[in-house]
Structure 1
Amino acid sequence: MGDNLFEGLPPPSQQQQLEEKKEEEQGRDQNLLSLKTSSSNDNKEASPNPVLKSALKRHKPTESNPEVYFPAAAPEKRLRFKTTTDASETQVIEAMQKIASHIKNPTKFAKASKLVIQLIKAGSVKAGTSDHFFAILEAAMSSTTSCTDPSVGGDYHSLFSAAQDAAEYLNKKQKNQLTVWTFRAVVANDLLTDDSFVFSKTASRLKDAISSLPIATEDDDIDEAATLKDETEIGNDDDNNKEAIVAPAEENKKDESDPFGLDALIPRSGNKDDRTKGKKDVAAKSRKEDEEETKRFLKSQREALITCLEIAARRYKTP
């Protein structure tokens, strides 16, 4: 008990305790302030010197040599082919007529066919030149050399393949004929290939074309061919006979009914029945021509397909 120095003394007051805490907090705040000051001084010493604006300015090149800093790019060289022509329709027609006169010659066919393909690609085949274009194709198919001959087969194939792009300008009859020629010039030459894939693809195309034909027998084909031949010959003979017989009779009737030739000076209204009859005759004639064209096209198409079948049969090899 005698060792306790604070024995018998009163306990410390509350105010004294508050003062001690306040002194401790002030000492802590002073330490934090000194740390912040030292860190800011370190940052100032580490930061670089500010960059002057004058150092960022770029020197302008002199007018005498503007390409010192920005040299001009070298011009690109491009190879361009002229695929169009500015020829007039008259010039195109004249060119087509010359081509038609040369394309039937086997020795000139290759060059002439390439010229035709150029005209097609240039868009020179239009409604006004379609008849002359068809005349070229007709002359090509009238050549004495077959379109499947090895010397010209490739050129025929290219020509009639390109002709499909100009088929829209042809009339119905011309389109039908182009279809037949395409079988002879394109499909037939494809069947002569040594590529088995091309042969198989062409054979499938040939099969589809045959399947689309109406069913007919051999007798029907013979009757159809004979009928078309007879109608053509009879029609030509009848027209010639009618012109020879009717002309003198009409002149005699005209002289008797109008001896003074005044009927031509007197206007008269047309007979309604005559006009109606004339329209019916025109419609009947047009319908008959369409039927004959359908028969002719069917016959020609069958003949072309048979030719292709014969080529395929000769080329087909069994393993």
Structure 2
Amino acid sequence: MEAIQSLISNVEKVIVGKRSVIELAVVSLLCRGHVLLEDVPGTGKTMLARALSRSVNVEMKRLQCTPDLLPSDITGVPIYNQKTSDFEFRPGPVFTHILLADEINRATPRAQSALLECMEEFRVSVDGISYDLPKVFMVLATQNPIDMAGTHPLPEAQLDRFFVRLHVGYPSLDEEVRILAAQAQAHPIDSLLPVIDDTQVLAAREAVKAVHINADVARYMAQITAATRRHGDLRLGVSPRGTLALARGSQGMAFLRGKDFVTPDIVKMMAGAILEHRLIVRPQAAAAGRTAREILNQILAELPPPV
């Protein structure tokens, strides 16, 4: 627990004033989930990935997504070796601990689909052979929600594989002044030192699994996701994968809060980041101004939590 708190504090040296975002990213790491960072340029999305990888002392690779990106550029490709007269597999950038997929919506659907297997099954299949990824593996993808010209929106199947969708947001006035002061001579990322390693992350994952979920709280989670499937303004509700993500994420946040059990308040706190991007609003409701966030908040307000 202390190691994970030191991890969050260490990342805060680089990402100023965004503790809640850092906590959700760390919860994703502890729950073996992936993060979709959706925000305007210059808010620290890439820096968050770099700070996280340096703090955990694991390898990070950056994948710049462009329209000409091929699936083999991500997963790797067999190369013919003239010396051995055989094909050798040359791993792609996905074989790392933290994969930063920058501007993922600029890649074509064909390239985006190369990430589907590794995000769900944590392995890559090339030419009928499967290769396992590291135990500590997370995709941290970014996308700009403003400049959508020439982009390919992520399909529902891929959005569902992201554990959380986060918005970093602009800093406050005082926080921006602190950023200016911190980078007056050098960037804090250059002097950031590791505080934990991958073995401690794996140990924390086991501790997260031990956080208790009461049967009533589990039923409350299932009621939330079931309500999204029945809602008249939603074309697509939350899948069972989303329900499992809500349970794991609630365990992770309870662990960060030093609790041995999940409370309904923690479930409601985690619901937005975990469930909102999995909802698709009907065109008629969207034209009337309804949003997935508003509908989810309505469901949470109407469902009575267990006592």
Do Structure 1 and Structure 2 share a fold, with TM-score over 0.5? no
Question: Whose relative contact order is higher, 1 or 2, with alpha carbons under 8 Å and at least 6 apart?
Answer: 2
TM-score, structure 2 normalization:
0.26
- Which of structures 1 and 2 has the bigger CA Rg? 1
Specify which structure has the higher proportion of strand. 2
Specify which structure has the higher proportion of helix. 1
